[in-house]
Structure 1
Amino acid sequence: MADQVIPTQDSFGRLQDGTEINRFTFKNKNNITVRIINYGGIITDICVPDKNGKVADINLGFDDIKGYEKRHPYFGAICGRVANRIGGGKFTLDGKEYQLPVNNGPNHLHGGVKGFDKVVWKARVDDDNLVLTYVSPDGEEQYPGTLTTEVRYRLTNDNQLSIDYTATTTKATPINLTNHAYLNLAGQGFPNIEDHVLWIDAYTYTPLDENIIPTGVIAPVAGTAYDLRTPTRLGDRLKHVNNGKGYDINFCVGGQPGKLTRVASLEHPPSGRKMEVYTTEPGLQCYTGCNMVTGVFGKGGVEYQKFASVCLETQHFANSVNQPNFPNTILRPDQTYRHTSVYKFGLTL
């Protein structure tokens, strides 16, 4: 118990309907603080020291629950039942076609109009874990089956933030869960990520069509702007990716299925902050905030702009339910969905 980081609880305010939202705070012996609320399972703060010991919040978001209750780009949230896009919002499962709500052009994105990011999760502290549970009823957002999902957050004294996802269902259903934290290692108010250095251990990626849906091809990164196998300064790359729009693409990073594997690292040499990403998932969606072109006002009234953050979302490939050659995303009643990701914070050497 002495070496465990036990979360504390306080109130984060009330939703418009009066529901009180709870906030849980982890703080380890190295002065790293992570805060999570039970609305959307949202990580509201990740505060880490730089090479001089100065602590900054590296996680974009809002100061209060009112910001999160309004429409926003999934800051820090759990995304599901199916994260990422499903083309046309359609899929066929066991001979039956399903039409989901479309909320991203012609596509279904991150679980639909009211995905897991917009629901109140049941929360409890279990030893040094924050345990969030949500029961999604059969037919919610037009998905089949009652899906019971548990997400466990844990911060250790060796600076690892782990997220363990499990789920069971009463009917066959697609599932693809992730956390959508937006990160800027210089501090959440810093205007860009140009001095960040990104490494992704992926030899292949999934090219997209005009509707931002994978074509089904698994293509080599060699010779493309998607080759990040050598640590790359983002300021030297972003304007040359996707006609200047930056990254919003899935990298195929999977090692052995179910084995926790180091798949990415993000460094900010000026501050010395570093984050490594480990996952059991086959995919890593890298998104550099290209859709925040009009700006979003976040913590302290800061206007977040395009290229002010990077998301490294561990998950299955987008539109997998419609691509038989992609790793399977169908969960059946006799199975348990499992997914673990770890974000390890530290300093560059």
Structure 2
Amino acid sequence: MRKAPGMMTLLAAAVTAISPQAATAAPAQPPYAELRAVDFQKDVDGKKVDLYTIKNKKGMVVKITNYGARIEQILVPDRNGKLGDVAQGYETIDQVMGGQGSMGAFVGRYANRIGNGTFTLDGTEYKLAINDLSTPPAPPRQNTLHGGKKGSRFVVFDAKPLSDSSVQMTILFKDGEEGFPGDLPVRVVYSVTDNNELVVAYDAVAANKKTVANFTGHTFFNLSGDLGSSIEDHILTVNSDRVLEVSPALVPNGKLRDVEGTPMDFRKPKAIGKDIKADYDLLKAGNGYDNHYVLSMKQPSELAFNARIMDPKSGRVMEVWSTEPGIQVYSGNFLEGKVPRDLGKGSTVYPFRSAFCLEPSRFPDSPNHPGFPTTEVNPGEWYSGKIVYKFSTAKK
């Protein structure tokens, strides 16, 4: 990987200058790509894009671009204290714009899928932008995914640093945009705590019409620090007894299925790859895990434990806590190692299942299922949520 010179590199160069015997020694390099703000500075749709860095006092660093409010890098230590990058991303804004559509993004105004791109609210049918289409021989699919053709993923947020450890990003969804009703201003604040937590706090208000809203973070994680390696050996636990059933079009049918006795069961720690090739309908629908789990929560909207995942090689552990009722577990099934789309930081190619996503949110397609937790927001009403990614390490 391409690395910027550090103190050890400069020291090695000095030794080489005074000691011919040391001339063949390779300079030390950090094990991650150095992202530069200048490589993200560009005007997009008449607004300025940049790269923002937040960090804590223990060395954890997170870098975020306001294009889609995307997390491009997360540096946290392994069990030996060595910093590594655990988030797939890109080194320039041009690579971001030509890369994976959801990678690192803050997703809205409606995260996940709405079946057939339609829903009815108070007797009025709304037809949304269709951007989730299948190609033969896959089953027919015609949905709205992650808010439509642009959503928040491909929009420049207004960014404001709040401190060395936090940055605020805001966006306004306009009435009729992508077919959704009502103006919906949204604020998301990224913060890093001294407990090595990345906190994503978000709120929105229905400014003038009743609408629907659903948000999530879509970071592609690989805790090993080797962003091109498989995540099938990562050990996952999910705080859930049930998963949503989906049609071949990956849209919920309204039914909940118990995970007990199925490959979907992560109530006890299990490698992602252990059952991923099982002959099971919910796995075949998404070519791996791409499923929404119903979280076991004591109280609605409380900050509660969602999931824990550990990389056995590096010892890195990530816990996910949120105020949301569900979590999408995704095993990187649509990463394909295609260049330039999947060519990431440090010239690393991102192949099939080289990352996982854990996406807390309300349920997909909720506007079409009255029995699901509501995503409706009345005029003047606020929608607030929080996701916490807490990093630590485990011994061998």
Return the alpha-carbon distance in structure 2 between the equivalents of residues 27 and 103 of structure 1: 36
8 Å Cα contact 2:244/2:292 also seen in 1: yes
* Corresponding residue to 1:286 among 326, 329, 343: 329
Which digits, 9 at most, give the CA deviation of each residue in 1:190-220, with x for residues without a partner? 3201220000010111011010001100111
2:380 is aligned to 334
1:321 is aligned to 367
8 Å Cα contact 1:60/1:188 also seen in 2: no
8 Å Cα contact 2:167/2:190 also seen in 1: yes
Letter in 2 for 1:321: P
* Corresponding residue to 1:162 among 184, 199, 203: 199
Return the alpha-carbon distance in structure 2 between the equivalents of residues 16 and 82 of structure 1: 23
Percent identity, aligned pairs only? Answer: 39
Greater gyration radius: 2
Shift of 1:189: 2.4
8 Å Cα contact 2:337/2:343 also seen in 1: no
* Corresponding residue to 1:174 among 184, 206, 212: 212
Q: Does the residue aligned with 2:355 lie in a helix, a strand or coil? A: coil
Q: Does 1:14 align with 2:57?
A: no
Which digits, 9 at most, give the CA deviation of each residue in 1:18-37, with x for residues without a partner? 64312211222222111111
Q: Does the residue aligned with 1:303 lie in a helix, a strand or coil? A: coil
Letter in 1 for 2:222: N
2:291 is aligned to 249
Q: Does 1:142 align with 2:188?
A: no
Q: Does 1:228 align with 2:266?
A: yes
Return the alpha-carbon distance in structure 2 between the equivalents of residues 346 and 195 of structure 1: 18
Letter in 2 for 1:171: K
How many residues of Structure 1 are paired with residues of Structure 2 in the alignment?
341
Shift of 1:137: 1.1
8 Å Cα contact 2:228/2:351 also seen in 1: no
- Return 201-210 or 296-305, whichever deviates more: 296-305
8 Å Cα contact 1:15/1:66 also seen in 2: no
With over 3 angstroms needed to count, the CA separation of the structure-2 counterparts of 1:98 and 1:279, relative to structure 1, is same
Return the alpha-carbon distance in structure 2 between the equivalents of residues 246 and 57 of structure 1: 25
Return the alpha-carbon distance in structure 1 between the equivalents of residues 49 and 166 of structure 2: 18
2:160 is aligned to 124
With over 3 angstroms needed to count, the CA separation of the structure-2 counterparts of 1:152 and 1:16, relative to structure 1, is closer
Letter in 1 for 2:345: K
Structure 2 runs not aligned, ≥5 long? 1-35, 134-141
Letter in 2 for 1:159: N
Shift of 1:49: 1.2
Shift of 1:263: 1.1
Letter in 1 for 2:227: G
Return the alpha-carbon distance in structure 2 between the equivalents of residues 46 and 101 of structure 1: 32
Return the alpha-carbon distance in structure 1 between the equivalents of residues 67 and 296 of structure 2: 30
* Corresponding residue to 1:196 among 234, 238, 243: 234
1:5 is aligned to none
TM-score when normalising by structure 1: 0.94
Which digits, 9 at most, give the CA deviation of each residue in 1:91-133, with x for residues without a partner? 0011110110110110000010011011111111234431111
* Corresponding residue to 2:129 among 101, 107, 110: 101
With over 3 angstroms needed to count, the CA separation of the structure-2 counterparts of 1:161 and 1:293, relative to structure 1, is same
With over 3 angstroms needed to count, the CA separation of the structure-2 counterparts of 1:10 and 1:297, relative to structure 1, is closer
Which digits, 9 at most, give the CA deviation of each residue in 1:279-323, with x for residues without a partner? 000010001111223532211222211111100001011101101
- Return 58-67 or 18-27, whichever deviates more: 18-27
- Return 249-258 or 146-155, whichever deviates more: 249-258
8 Å Cα contact 2:114/2:365 also seen in 1: yes
Return the alpha-carbon distance in structure 2 between the equivalents of residues 74 and 183 of structure 1: 13
1:59 is aligned to 87
- Return 154-163 or 290-299, whichever deviates more: 290-299
TM-score when normalising by structure 2: 0.83
What is the aligned-residue RMSD (CA, Å)? 1.6
8 Å Cα contact 1:42/1:75 also seen in 2: yes
Structure 1 runs not aligned, ≥5 long? 1-8
